[in-house]
Amino acid sequence: GAVVSQHPSRVICKSGTSVKIECRSLDFQATTMFWYRQFPKKSLMLMATSNEGSKATYEQGVEKDKFLINHASLTLSTLTVTSAHPEDSSFYICSAMTPRPDRGHTDTQYFGPGTRLTVL
Amino acid sequence: SQQGEEDPQALSIQEGENATMNCSYKTSINNLQWYRQNSGRGLVHLILIRSNEREKHSGRLRVTLDTSKKSSSLLITASRAADTASYFCATDAGGTSYGKLTFGQGTILTVHP
């Protein structure tokens, strides 16, 4: 099946610093990737949709200046948490849909392994 | 709005027993998907059922979808200790929201050997 990787898997940073998380589709090209956030023992919440070659679209309540998303290529999307604060500590997961020539996508999403961010 | 409520929130069974998890949602959907998550890990896609389908099987998994009741169920037959994980349903409304998944709260399944 399709593989999506994330880097780093775990990061600890000081309050006020910025952290970049990478999401890569390893064996397919993804024009669209999604970023989710998950609090401990909670469900996933969609933060934003990352579109290759265009600006990301953010869900209501998500600060676009706080969570910068760049989809520079068909296999890479990055999420930068700017001026991180302890309340940004969370598990961040990306996903990508595999393309299919006749329909654009297969409807199935493949998720990365997640990045655990801890802000001290 | 948050949708995709699941029950039970936690389920504890013995190996060999069947496990049934339910999911309800609030809006129209294009498809509904079930995922599994081991503690602290990413999500593994289990099965996708489209809005025009009523039942789907994959190995020991059986998923049903009732769009009139806006509900779905996931049945895991002959459970194994390795099935211990959190299970989430997620809906895709399609249209302009295509690909944007709304997740349920999840069911924590514990299978005792």
Residue from B21, B23, B43, B50 to probe the interface with A (highest A Cβ count within 10 Å):
B43
Q: Which residues of B touch A90 (CB under 8 A)?
A: none
Confidence check: pLDDT of B1 > 50? no
Q: For every residue of chain A, which 3-state class applies, written as one string?
A: CCCEEEECCEEEECCCCCEEEEEEECCCCCCEEEEEEECCCCCEEEEEEEECCCCCEECCCCCCCCEEEEEEECCEEEEEECCCCHHHCEEEEEEEECCCCCCCCCCCEEECCCEEEEEC
Q: What's the whole-number mean pLDDT along residues B55-67?
A: 97
Give per-10-residue mean pLDDT for chain A (120 aa): 91 97 92 91 91 90 95 92 96 85 64 96
Give contacts of B104 with chain A, Cβ < 8 Å: 43
Contact B41 A112 (CB under 8 A): no
Q: Quick one: closest CA in A to B10, which residue?
A: A41
Kindly list the residues of chain B whose beta carbon comes within 8 Å of any beta carbon in chain A.
4, 30-31, 33, 35, 40-45, 48, 50, 88, 90, 92, 98-106
Determine which of A89-103, B13-27, B32-46, B72-86 has the lowest per-residue pLDDT on average: A89-103
Mean pLDDT for B53-71 is: 97
Of the listed ranges A106-115, B38-47, B102-111, the one predicted with least confidence: A106-115
How much is the pLDDT for A52? 84
Round the average pLDDT of chain B to a whole number and report it: 92
Query: In this predicted model, what pLDDT tens digit does every residue of B84-100 receive, in sequence order?
Result: 999 999 999 888 888 89
What's residue B2's pLDDT?
A: 35
pLDDT for the residue B26: 92
Residue A85's pLDDT is 96
Query: Which chain A positions have a beta carbon within 8 Å of B33's beta carbon?
Result: 108-109
Distance CA A49, CA A94 (A): 10
State how far the Cα of B111 lies from the Cα of A111, in Å rounded to an integer: 24
| pLDDT, average across residues B53-66 | 97
